[in-house]
Amino acid sequence: MRHARRRVVRRVTRLAAVGGLLLGGTMVTHAVASEPGTPDAVPFSTASPGDGAAAGPGAALVQRLGTSRTAGTWVGGDGRTVVAVTDQEAAEEVRAAGAEPKMVRHSMDDFDSATRTLSSAPRVPGTAWLKDYRSNQVVVRGDSTVSADDWSSLTDVADGIGDFVRMERVEGAFTTRLAGGLPVLSTAGRCSAGFNVTDGEREFILTAGHCGPQGSVWFSDSGARQKVGTTVGGSFPGDDYSLIAYDGGKAGDNAGVVAVGGNKGVRITGVADPTVGQRIFRSGSTSGLRDGEVTALDVTVNYPEGTVGGLIESDVCAEPGDSGGPMFSEGIALGVTSGGSGDCRSGGITYFQPVTKALADLDLKMIVAPGAEGGGGSPSPAPSQAQGVTAPDAATPGSSTPVRGILPDPSTLVSRLADPRNVGPGLLVMGGSLVALVASRWIRAEQDRKAYRRQYSATWG
């Protein structure tokens, strides 16, 4: 009876081992068949400001009416476009276009003249100025590092311009956010990857210019083992953007996705300029995904390292290490994080380099996600003309997607073997089945030898 049970166990073990070999072989075959192609074969589309992207109908109205008759445009609390105008005829044109006019005293020409005068004054680090469309004023800000004498001198300059210049002191200090999207690290510090861009042949990370000079080598891990690429160009001060050329020349899977934390990302589908009042989202390697509102455009900031102009201002927070991270809304790329004041505990002000300016200067295109979920390389839809006039509370970051392969992923061997998309699980099943088959054969042979010795001893002992 005992021998019969052993024979059944051995037969079941052999059948299971053979079945395991067949199953493992099938798993390996399927994994190889479904293995994603090389980075060269990853489908993506591109977008640039010239592809029809626009900040909204207000920008077109301002351009048509001219800078002497308008003083900016913004999104109202109800999502309607508001355009500041200086005469009744312009107001009628705005109203006929379906937007809301607001009569003001000072035009964009007045704003431009005021900011030119401020720029020609002696430079004071820790100051910034902006055109506040909604109050029809130019606002000059000074942080806590500005001395009383410097503030007094700048106030004298403002008084000479006119009563539409407003002086404000703010807490904290205007600093670049160098310490992350995903973090990139070098000897210059820690920044965040912004957007993936391309010249048609090579692919790059667009990030902040102050993150590091040309030649800076970047890694995705603190041990400097996972190399990302090298800084090959940019502009800072003046502007605040730079390019990191990927070490292998390609961004890899999900090139049109930006990371927002929790192994999730947002599909980027276009590029545009923002509108004042628009709700935006910012992602960084220090503070993660945060949201806020665009409060001003064409802002000049005097950082300790130098002056940067043409920035976007927002009331979203940021912290050191968030520099270079992406700013977007409804999947539309808008800017990369430059600097600001405050933090994400007490709040603050953050400035962004417009993506459109960087792409135009560098003659590059944004890499965007395919136009439809799983739709291969079909063209992405151009951002709507009304993209910039979404009601602030109704805006979302964009369509969510899992994040894989934006930067080199230092996955463990165990996680790689456990991934059903790899050949690892199949090989493990095959290996285990072979071990079981060999073991069952060895056990049977050993049992036969013992039985023979018992029989031999009983006969000749």
Distance between CA atoms of 390 and 303, rounded to whole angstroms?
Answer: 32
Q: Is the pLDDT of residue 166 over 60?
A: yes
pLDDT mean over 23-31 = 57
Stronger pLDDT, 387 or 318, i.e. the higher one: 318
Instruction: Tell me the pLDDT tens digit for each residue of 219-278.
Output: 988 777 889 999 999 999 999 999 999 998 988 878 899 888 777 889 999 999 999 999
Instruction: Tell me the pLDDT tens digit for each residue of 292-341.
Output: 999 999 999 999 999 999 999 999 999 988 999 999 999 999 999 999 99
Q: Is the pLDDT of residue 179 over 70?
A: no
Q: Are 339 and 304 in contact (CB under 8 A)?
A: no
Predicted local distance difference test score (pLDDT) of residue 93: 96
Q: Are 216 and 204 in contact (CB under 8 A)?
A: no
Lowest model confidence (mean pLDDT) among 5-14, 120-129, 356-365, 377-386: 377-386
Distance between CA atoms of 323 and 344, rounded to whole angstroms?
Answer: 14
Lowest model confidence (mean pLDDT) among 149-158, 179-188, 234-243, 401-410: 401-410
Q: Which residues are catalytic?
A: 210, 240, 323
Stronger pLDDT, 185 or 69, i.e. the higher one: 69
**What is the side-by-side order of every strand in the sheet holding 100-103?**
70-75, 81-85, 100-103
Most confident of 25-39, 213-227, 430-444: 213-227
Distance between CA atoms of 125 and 58, rounded to whole angstroms?
Answer: 33
Predicted local distance difference test score (pLDDT) of residue 4: 57
pLDDT band at residue 40 using 50, 70 and 90 as cut-offs: very low
Instruction: Tell me the pLDDT tens digit for each residue of 50-63.
Output: 664 455 689 999 99
Predicted local distance difference test score (pLDDT) of residue 89: 97
Amino acid at 404: R
**Longest Cα–Cα distance in the chain:** 125
User: 410: how many CB neighbours lie within 10 A of its CB?
Assistant: 10
> What distances in angstroms separate CA 14 from CA 10, 73, 95, 440, one per listed residue?
6, 77, 83, 7
Q: Is the pLDDT of residue 202 over 90?
A: yes
Predicted local distance difference test score (pLDDT) of residue 382: 35
Amino acid at 239: D
